[in-house]
């Protein structure tokens, strides 16, 4: 059954609710996780919700996902704009990948306009707040059922 997905969150996303509320809203990381778990359960998906501030740990998570998961939803946060290592790891994952950003990175500082992963992922969602995670879960379920 194609229903195991991993949600990978990059640096500082553990501080949601506390950091830059004008960009990321007031939702806490724990509440976001809870919302994602509820939605996934409703859709019959089995999800693991992870976060790391460490680039190499994210690379390891992506590598391990090849065996353990059917899809990846990733908010690589600041590493989106800098990490060739995360891009290379994602390139090896031959199943659906959805890139997500809470804020609209194209409306922000110029250094955020470049994503090193957008051209290798299946699709992306940005600027829709934390709801973007829920939309990503819905899209991932369709991708896994080949309904999109």
Angle at 118 between CA 117 and CA 123, to 5 degrees: 125
Binding mask 82-121 for ligand DQA (x = CB under 6 A): -------------------xxx-x------x---------
Tell me whether residue 80 or residue 139 sits nearer to ligand DQA (CB atom): 80
8 A C-beta contact, residue 64 and residue 136: no
Q: Which of residues 3-22 bind ligand DQA (CB under 6 A)?
A: 12
Catalytic residue among 81, 101, 106, 113: 101
What is the largest distance, in Å, between two alpha-carbon atoms of the chain? Answer: 42
Half-sphere exposure of 132 (CA within 13 A, CB side): 22
Nearest residue to 50 (alpha-carbon basis) of 81, 59, 42, 142: 59
Instruction: Find the shortest distance in angstroms from Cβ 3 to ligand DQA.
Output: 25
Where on the chain is the footprint of ligand DQA (CB under 6 A)? 12, 75, 77-78, 80, 101-103, 105, 112
Active-site amino acid positions:
24, 101
């Amino acid at each position: 059954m194609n229903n195991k997905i991993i949600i990978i969150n990059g640096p500082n996303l553990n501080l949601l609710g506390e950091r830059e509320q004008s960009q990321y809203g007031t939702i806490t990381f724990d509440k976001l996780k809870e919302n994602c778990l509820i939605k996934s359960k409703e859709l019959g998906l089995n999800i693991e919700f992870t976060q790391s501030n460490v680039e190499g740990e994210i690379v390891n998570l992506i590598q391990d996902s090849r065996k353990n998961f059917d899809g990846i939803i990733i908010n690589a946060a600041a590493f989106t704009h800098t990490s060739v290592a995360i891009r290379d790891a994602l390139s090896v994952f031959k199943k659906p990948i959805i890139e997500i950003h809470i804020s609209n990175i194209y409306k922000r500082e110029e250094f955020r306009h470049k994503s090193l992963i957008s051209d290798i992922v299946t699709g992306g969602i940005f600027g829709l707040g934390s709801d973007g995670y829920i939309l990503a879960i819905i899209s991932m379920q369709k991708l896994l059922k080949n309904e999109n």
